[in-house]
Amino acid sequence: MSEAIKISIIEDNPQYTQSLQTMISVSEQMEFVASYESGEAYLESLNENTAGVADIVLLDLNLPGKSGLQLIPIIRKEMPETNILVLTQNNDYHTTIEAIRLGVAGYLLKDSPIASIREAITELHQGSSIIDPQLSKIVLQALSGNSELDDENLLTEREQQVLELLAMGYVKKEVAVHMGVGYRTVSQYTENIYKKLQVANVAAAVAAAIRKGLI
């Protein structure tokens, strides 16, 4: 049996924290480490070396005092092996991009079903990136040709279109119909996207596009 995924929570809403703890407790593959009501409480545990080592931190952004965005670089520096999954009510485009640029592995809205959060935790632990489908559509609408990438690695206009449609939930066959091209053409576009961005799935491609300056 594989080792359980160790999870910490930074969340100021006690009811939501409890629902997350319940989810963890009933999942054999997960183990609850600790919860913190503020960024300051979490930082204090880091300073006192009492913070348990977590594989994943579930992070709220709208915390009292130090915000979740301010915590991300600190967690990344102090716990480089720990993945961060943002769980927030904030669906602001700029906040989403900033969180991803700062290095979170996943970004979900709090109204996501518990089953989706559980699945996201498992996928993050396996190395995937997760972005809420509602946010993927908004983020990808900002795709532009301005990039720090060289011309060889820049997504073409058609590749950007494919990536946007995939992020909106279309399967490859539907993308082909929408764009008026063959299924094999869409498959080739998708392969090119993943190769250029060095990723394995749509969510990871969105995150990579942000980090590489495509958005």
Domains of the chain, residue spans: 5-131, 138-211
The CA distance from 36 to 208, in Å, is 30
What number of other Cβ atoms are within 10 A of residue 184's Cβ? 10
pLDDT in tens, 16-67: 999 999 999 999 899 999 999 999 999 999 888 776 789 999 999 999 899 9
Domain 138-211 -> CATH class: mainly alpha
pLDDT at 16: 95
Q: Which CATH number fits domain 5-131: 3.40.50.2300, 1.10.3720.10, 3.30.70.20, 3.40.50.300?
A: 3.40.50.2300
Which pLDDT tens digits describe the chain residue by residue (215 residues)? Answer: 568 999 999 999 999 999 999 999 999 899 999 999 999 999 999 888 776 789 999 999 999 899 999 999 999 998 888 999 999 887 776 787 788 778 888 889 998 899 999 999 998 898 877 888 777 655 655 443 344 444 445 778 888 888 878 766 677 888 899 999 999 998 898 888 888 777 766 766 776 766 666 65
- Its pTM stands at 0.69
Give the DSSP per-residue string, the chain. -PPPEEEEEE-S-HHHHHHHHHHHHT-TTEEEEEEESSHHHHHHHHHTT-PPP-SEEEE-SS-SSS-HHHHHHHHHHH-TT-EEEEEES---HHHHHHHHHHT-SEEEETTS-HHHHHHHHHHHHTT--EE-HHHHHHHHTT--S--SS-TTTSPPHHHHHHHHHHHTT--HHHHHHHHT--HHHHHHHHHHHHHHHT-SSHHHHHHHHHHTT--
pLDDT in tens, 181-190: 999 998 898 8
